[in-house]
Amino acid sequence: MFKKAILLMFLAFMSLQVFASDAEHPPKMNWSFQSIFGTYDRAALQRGFQVYHEVCAACHSLNHLAYRHLAGIGFTPETIKALAAEKEIRDGFTEEGEIFKRPGIAADHIAPPYINESAAKAANNGSLPPDLSLIVKARAHGPDYLHAILTGYAEPPKEVQLGENMHYNKYFAGRQIAMIAPLHEGMVNYTDGTPTNVEQYAKDVVTFLTWAGDPKMEERKSTGFKVMFFLIILTLFMFFTKRRVWRNIKD
């Protein structure tokens, strides 16, 4: 019985591997934040938040991020307060037992689109839209994969039979995805003259979501450079100190 269970698990694992391998490998992108000296593009971060706010936030939460954290992408306190105040936050119950709602404040976490998972599934044909706080870290080839998914929608080949409420995406496992293509040309209006096409939207929102999952990246790199510089200086100091102390000592 035990051997049979192990065999079934092995066959299931192999079937999943074959299923996943059906997807195309995401193309390598050139991101400003990926090298050891890389930093986040603040203009791209702000545009990316705009794409999330106007498009992605209709279905996807960002539970690990508070409005006040948006200061890290260059938003002013006034802008942050205005963004938070647009949303109604559920905050306990009234004396009558009804849900108490109030305008959001900077300290609140970004308001989710649904009250709970059941409501999210009911609004999305039974599929649960994932939280995007750590989505880039949670996927292999993070930024490249997410960018590929957002730009990989196409008409299915004739030999592909799509399931009910499924859409063709060559970068998704099985090449079928429940999420409808979220980005379309001209749907978000940029005020800085940046092109408003799917490719640009995808780059910007992926940059923002990468920052959302690792907002301390630049600070960490800066600290690392300082530590390495200190260790190099300390090593040189110790080397010349050793030479001076031992220079008159013969073997």
Cα radius of gyration rounded to whole Å, the chain: 25
Backbone angles phi, psi at 181, to 5 degrees: -55, 115
> For position 190, what pLDDT does the model report?
96
Residue 250 is predicted with a pLDDT of: 66
Q: How far is CA 113 from the centre of its chain?
A: 17
Q: Residue 16: what pLDDT?
A: 42
Closest-CA residue to 199 (of 213, 186, 214):
186
Q: In this model, does residue 95 exceed pLDDT 90? A: no
Q: Looking at the predicted structure, is the pLDDT value of residue 11 above 70?
A: no
Residue 72: its pLDDT value, please? Answer: 96
Lowest-confidence region among 69-83, 197-211, 233-247: 233-247
Spell out a b/e string for 103-123, using b for 16 or more CB atoms within 10 Å of the CB, else e. Answer: ebebebbbbbebeeeeebeee
Provide mean pLDDT across the span 35-48: 95
* pLDDT value of residue 251: 57
E-strand ranges in 109-218 read 167-168, 176-177
Query: Is the sign of the CA dihedral 74, 75, 76, 80 positive or negative?
Result: negative
Residue 12 confidence (pLDDT): 44
Domains of the chain plus CATH, in order, are: 23-65+109-158+165-243 (1.10.760.10)
